[in-house]
Structure 1
Amino acid sequence: MGKIIFYEDRNFGGRHYECSSDCTDFSPYFSRCNSCRVESGCFMLYERPNYMGHQYFLSRGEYPDYQRWMGMSDSIRSCRMIPMVRSHRMRFYERMEFGGQMMELMDDCPNMMDRFHWSDVHSCNVMEGHWLFHDQPNYRGRMYYMRPGEYRRYSDWGGMSSRIGSIRRIMDY
């Protein structure tokens, strides 16, 4: 079970809203989010309702202003609680619709180019666990939350391009 508290102002001030599950739209509860506190669990925050827009991964800790979670603005409109699991396994492909060369991954990969000699992922099948794709090596840059399921093209996970620089498992750090 996870718990996150969102605050309208920096340094945990102003109106706040507590959440311990997925929420598709925060608009009725607050107008902006400048800080938050994750008391337990891990969450993915989204800039737009219905889990759309830039995504931000937060684990337990305090975030006194949105720049601490690499936020581009104070707009957080939805979130997902990420369940913790023990095993992780995914297959990713160099072409859409699971075509071309396939690679299987069960652990973190800080640099796709160094490990697999390619960094364009056009489709993937997450068989176990929850993962984060990063568009740059060493877990930097824009991130994408990958839940179990089939992603036939990079737009299915919200990707702007097929470039993936690194991949990591979501675990309760």
Structure 2
Amino acid sequence: MGKIIIYEHANFRGVSREITSDISNLGRLDFNDIISSVKVIGQPWVAYEHINYSGRLMVLEEGEHNYVGRSMNDTISSLQMITEDLHNPQITLYEHPNYQGKSRVIREATNLAAGFDNDIMSSHKVQRGAWLLCEHSDGSGIQYIAREKDNLPHYSAIYLNDKLSFLRPLRPGQQLCPGGIALSSPQPCSWHPGCHPAPRGRNSNSRSPAEMGRIILYEHTNFQGLSKEFTSDIANLRDADWNDLASSAKVIGQPWVLYEHSNYGGRFLVLEEGDHSFFGTKLNNKISSLQMITEDLSNPEITLYEHANYQGKSRVVREATNLAAGHDNDIMTSHKVQRGVWLLCEHSDGSGIQYLARERENLPNYKAINFNDKLSFLRPLRAGRSY
């Protein structure tokens, strides 16, 4: 199922040992308190500070770990492999001991600190997989490994009662053949004649019609940290444990609008199809609701009017337009949207007061949006690709 190669020094240098099963005391291998780096193949391993799988712990998932970190360097005394099937994890948390009170089923990495359930859980039942439970939202503090079929009636036993802020399932490693070759590898295994490469998956760029509009939020800039995919509007990201947490996003298909407050209120940010590595300082870690643009954006049109109630001079606009560079700057007072969705901006550089005008919207007076005689720039939202 897997193996771990432990090294005496950082960057995989010095004496090394390969281990394929649990070991409760590394002193028996003359390797107690000397591990500084490891390579993990297949299933995850848990490294413990003390013998018999006790003390502080560190989860080591598949890959190369060139340094185990200052807190665990040269302090590891026992190792345990995670043997559970990790492909479809599920844990149920309970508000009170003995599985009482409010309950919540979780199937993915979840930051409870960004929702309604921070520091209130007191017991759990693990249906599938293995889970890392953490005291703090950044994964630090007290940690506990909850394994499949682990029913823990009271978190006081692990010093986590009303302290749980973050949890995530452990990630499965590649399945290995008896010769130790990953079954997803294109290389046949010379040790095991019955082993053949896994078939290639479908092209990752192919998407079903159900995936025409989605957004993937990331906890940190440059698509780092926790992530979560959304395919429909959400009025309060606290319901998904994602309030005031997002810093970057990837948009596939139709544009999305990210709002500062719940129920689509406050300042907003329009994200069209593509990768957005940073939201900017004004809205970083401040997003509380999401809304997908569902209109047909391929042939946009809006009519602007000089006076309230669609009176006075009118102008039909079908493309991005800088009114400040012409005769109609700061004179428009009402509009009718024939097609598409439009971003209206107070200043010609897109800054200042902003407003989203949606298809079939007739707005008789810009005073209602604090925009009277202030419009300098507008543009239609860009359509995403069709799949």
SS at match of 2:140: strand
Q: What is the aligned partner in structure 2 of residue 25 from structure 1?
A: 25
Contact kept, 8 Å, 2:120 with 2:163, in 1: the verdict is yes
Per-residue deviation, 1:54: 0.8
Q: 1:18 to 1:155 in 2, by over 3 A?
A: farther
5 Å matches for 1:13-162? 13-29=13-29, 30-31=31-32, 32-67=34-69, 71-83=71-83, 84-109=85-110, 111-138=111-138, 140-142=139-141, 143-148=143-148, 149-156=150-157, 158-159=158-159, 162=162
Bigger relative contact order, structure 1 or 2, given CA contacts below 8 A and separation 6+? 1
Which has a greater percent of strand? Answer: 1
- 5+ residue gaps, structure 2: 174-387
Contact 2:122-2:160 at 8 Å conserved across structures: no
Could you say what secondary structure the match of 2:114 adopts? helix
Task: Give the paired residue count.
Answer: 168
TM-score w.r.t. length of structure 1: 0.84
| Counterpart in the other structure of 2:166 | 166
Counterpart in 1 of 2:339?
A: none
Aligned-residue offset at 1:161: 5.1
Residues 53 and 160 of structure 1, relative CA distance in 2, 3 Å threshold: farther
1:3/1:39 contact within 8 Å kept = yes
Q: Following TM superposition, by how much is the alpha carbon of 1:155 offset from its aligned partner in structure 2, in angstroms?
A: 4.8
CA distance in 1, matches of 2:109, 2:9: 35
Report the Cα offset of residue 86 of structure 1.
Answer: 2.2
Separation in structure 1 between the aligned mates of residue 22 and residue 37 of structure 2, nearest angstrom: 18
Contact in 2 for aligned 1:8/1:33 (Cα 8 Å):
yes
Which residue identity does 1:55 align to in structure 2?
A: L
Residue 154 of structure 1: CA displacement? 2.0
* Residue pair 2:48, 2:76 contacting (<8 A) in 1 also: yes
TM superposition shift of 1:147: 0.1
**CA positional deviation for 1:41:** 2.4
- Between the aligned residues of both structures, percent identity stands at 27
For each residue in 1:2-42, what CA deviation from the matched residue of structure 2 results, as whole angstroms up to 9, or x when unmatched? 11111222332333221122221111111321221213321
Aligned-partner SS, 2:11:
helix
Q: Deviations over 1:94-139 (max 9, x none)?
A: 2222233222212221x2133333323221111111111122225x
2-side partners of 1:114 and 1:141: how far apart? Answer: 16
- Name the larger-Rg structure: 2
Matched AA of 1:42 = P
Q: What amino acid is the match of 1:141?
A: S
